Structure 1
Amino acid sequence: MQLQIEKYIDGVWWLAATLHIDQPAKGLASSCTLEYLPDYVLEHLDRSDEASLDFRHPLSFNHYRCDGWPAFFLDLLPSGYGRDTLLTLLNSSARDGAQYDVSVLMHGASQPPGCMRIREAHLYLAGAMPQGFGGWSEAELAEVGTGFESLLQEHGVLHGVTCMLGQAPKLWMSRAKNGRLYPDTCLTEDDIVERLLVKFPRNREEQVLLEHEFVWLKLAKTAGLDVHGQPFMLGSLLFIPRFDCALVQGQWQHHHLMSMYTLQDAQQHGLKLFHEDVLTNWQAHAAPDEFLQQVAEYLRRDVLSYCLKAEDNHGRNTAFLKHGSRLQLSPLFDFSPMFLTRDPPTRLTSWRSFPVGLHQQWPLLFDAFLPTLLGEAACHTLRASMRDWCSTLAAVQQQFATLELDERTDACHARFATALAALDSL
């Protein structure tokens, strides 16, 4: 089985490489060969960092033999609701297993976040979506309640969700020049003026979760964290501006997005990680003059996620924007109180420096790990920065106390107090 990988550079989707999968029935575990196309290599020899698909497989005329799929393919592979919906559309059943991985990649990796896609999947989605769909007004979407999935089915555009990653139901949507909103693939790039991620509920429980996620994002903004744009709600739908693409001088640019799992070369879903390893590997690719500020953002996210019990911190819920050979922490995303669901996830990324079972021991990081990572002078600057941030976090705590929220969020009050005490001791 051979698939073709495309990468977006300077306004063009380039046919960049092929992936030959030796044993498709083994899915992610199959050995494979990744090979750049000679024409693509020749065209981009003078900008190989930008043209490479990831750090471990730099642009080359030589092929790469891999024991399993390269980790970055998991950033393209639909999961959760998108995968389930795709399998149902393909097979009339959501029955799943490793033997379906290749089919999901081949049909579903049509619009992953970032600047890469599988050519076969793009062609499949283009053929599955209807022509001439008229989109929706904001007023129409504000009235759908928990029926958005049915609305997608009614208009024949449910295939639009099949490229999505993550458990929650979601869809790429775009605003056209006429002001109406469409599934992204229903428009040409020349017609699009704004690109959004919309999360939609199928029941009251999911609606409560999205209402709280919207509040969590606003609290993160109050805390000074990097939240891109202005998320908003239309009725029960949560709209989040996309940061993996941008309109620059009238042309859409797609940025290279790399998950924390890809940085760590994690070739399976659900692997546990340590923050110390992530920061160490990231430092090797970070801009030296930006790294200290970025580490401060990383630590503040960790503190606020503890306070608000936003603990679904697996390796695909943190990502980096790749600019040539450099990595920059992406804006915050999937910052959600998943403890409000029936099956809340556990924290998958933890600090090796903390005692087992304890998460709020940030002062311990300044004893050994951070001085080794950053140097004593930079570590001193970071310590002072985190102390100064205490007043901002206290303001978030005060704002949180005034909100009318699900009673299950009451546990967050004590967490704020614990975090403030820990930071005050720095």
Structure 2
Amino acid sequence: MVKFPRGNRSEVDCNILRAEFHFYHELAAMGFDTIPTQHMRLEEGLNYPSLWLPRFDICFADDSHIKRFGMESVYSALRKAPGTTLYHEEAIRALINKITHSDTVIEQGFDFDVPAFVIEWVRRDLLNIIFGNSDNHGRNTSLLKDEHIIRLAPIYDFAPMKADPEGIARTTKWSAPLEIGGEYDFAGIAAALDDLVPAETLLDALRETAQQLLGLKARLVERGVPEQIINMPGIGFDFIAEKLRRWGCYERS
């Protein structure tokens, strides 16, 4: 798949696309499942860049056989129209209910790890927030069905959309008071999901992710993320530790 800058391909539009390339490499280095980076390319054209992304819904078993995985977006799985506002805790429960009661799990015996699904979902939302990826609608998260397991698809469409001049707002949110005006209560989020995964288990995973995020700005600078994105006030790479402490994800030792 090839991606080009959005909008009128202004400087910031181009820099958002450049940052997306580096974001995938950083996520992979942090241990998250994302679009494979080995053959990913950022090409600088005469007027604007292009991002060349490998597919992740297929794999090559050998020179003559291709394995295709089933993939369905959250919007499709929940039968929601494009642009519909979703609330995380409702979407998580609806998806779990649908998957656990599906023939794929009941009749065909596919594995679906509910606690792992919830932990990964919430950790990814923390990543979206810190990296400035506000474009988190239900087409940008999908379920993947491989030979034996149903799980979240690798992270894709992950870019600093808070930098977009059009003002891209979060479409999937936590219900108040868990999310209000750009502030988050992750202890409250963990408590709200405690029947699906023990709250302390989820918080431990979030603390682990928060620890990884502490040096993020310096790493992104080293990778080559454009200065315009690094210094974007609306993203706030300078205040990561402060935000993580305020939201209950990190305590200075």
Q: Tell me if both proteins adopt one fold, taking TM over 0.5 as the criterion.
A: yes
Task: Report what 1:392 is aligned to.
Answer: 212
Q: Distance in 2 between matches of 1:356 and 1:393?
A: 22
Task: Report what 1:334 is aligned to.
Answer: 157
Query: Counterpart of 2:168 in 1: which secondary structure?
Result: coil
Task: Report what 1:234 is aligned to.
Answer: 43
**Structure 1: gaps spanning 5 or more residues:** 1-196
Task: Report what 2:105 is aligned to.
Answer: none
Alignment match of 1:365 (pick from 179, 185, 189): 189
Alignment match of 1:222 (pick from 26, 29, 43): 29
Q: Distance in 2 between matches of 1:325 and 1:271?
A: 31
Deviations 1:191-248 (A, max 9, x none): xxxxxx1112473433222112112222222332211311321222211111112222
Deviations 1:151-196 (A, max 9, x none): xxxxxxxxxxxxxxxxxxxxxxxxxxxxxxxxxxxxxxxxxxxxxx
Q: Which amino acid aligns with 1:281?
A: A
Over aligned residues, Cα RMSD in angstroms?
A: 2.6
Task: Report what 2:174 is aligned to.
Answer: 351
Task: Report what 2:119 is aligned to.
Answer: 296
- The answer to whether the 8 A contact 1:306-1:415 is kept is no
Alignment of 1:274 onto 2:87: yes
Deviations 1:296-353 (A, max 9, x none): 2222211111112110011101111135896310000100112333313211100115
- The answer to whether the 8 A contact 1:282-1:327 is kept is no
Task: Report what 2:96 is aligned to.
Answer: 283
Q: Which amino acid aligns with 2:83?
A: G
Residue 278 to residue 309, structure 1, CA distance change in 2 (3 Å): same
**Structure 2: gaps spanning 5 or more residues:** 101-109
Query: Counterpart of 2:167 in 1: which secondary structure?
Result: coil
Query: Counterpart of 2:214 in 1: which secondary structure?
Result: helix
Query: Counterpart of 1:253 in 2: which secondary structure?
Result: strand
Q: Distance in 1 between matches of 2:150 and 2:94?
A: 10
- The answer to whether the 8 A contact 1:322-1:328 is kept is yes
Alignment match of 1:319 (pick from 137, 142, 153): 142
Residue 337 to residue 294, structure 1, CA distance change in 2 (3 Å): same
- The answer to whether the 8 A contact 1:263-1:278 is kept is no
Q: Distance in 1 between matches of 2:236 and 2:218?
A: 12
Residue 332 to residue 415, structure 1, CA distance change in 2 (3 Å): farther
Task: Report what 2:236 is aligned to.
Answer: 412
Q: Where do 1:64-75 residues align within 5 Å?
A: none
Task: Return the structure number with greater strand share.
Answer: 1
Q: Where do 1:93-172 residues align within 5 Å?
A: none
Q: Distance in 1 between matches of 2:112 and 2:67?
A: 25
Q: Distance in 2 between matches of 1:424 and 1:339?
A: 23
Q: Which amino acid aligns with 2:250?
A: D
Q: Distance in 2 between matches of 1:316 and 1:359?
A: 24
Task: Report what 2:56 is aligned to.
Answer: 243
Query: Counterpart of 1:301 in 2: which secondary structure?
Result: helix
- The answer to whether the 8 A contact 2:119-2:202 is kept is yes
Q: Distance in 1 between matches of 2:113 and 2:56?
A: 19
Q: How many residues align?
A: 224
Residue 280 to residue 325, structure 1, CA distance change in 2 (3 Å): farther
Q: Which moved more, 1:209-218 or 1:277-286?
A: 277-286
Q: TM-score, normalised by structure 1?
A: 0.48
Greater CA radius of gyration, 1 or 2? 1
Q: TM-score, normalised by structure 2?
A: 0.77
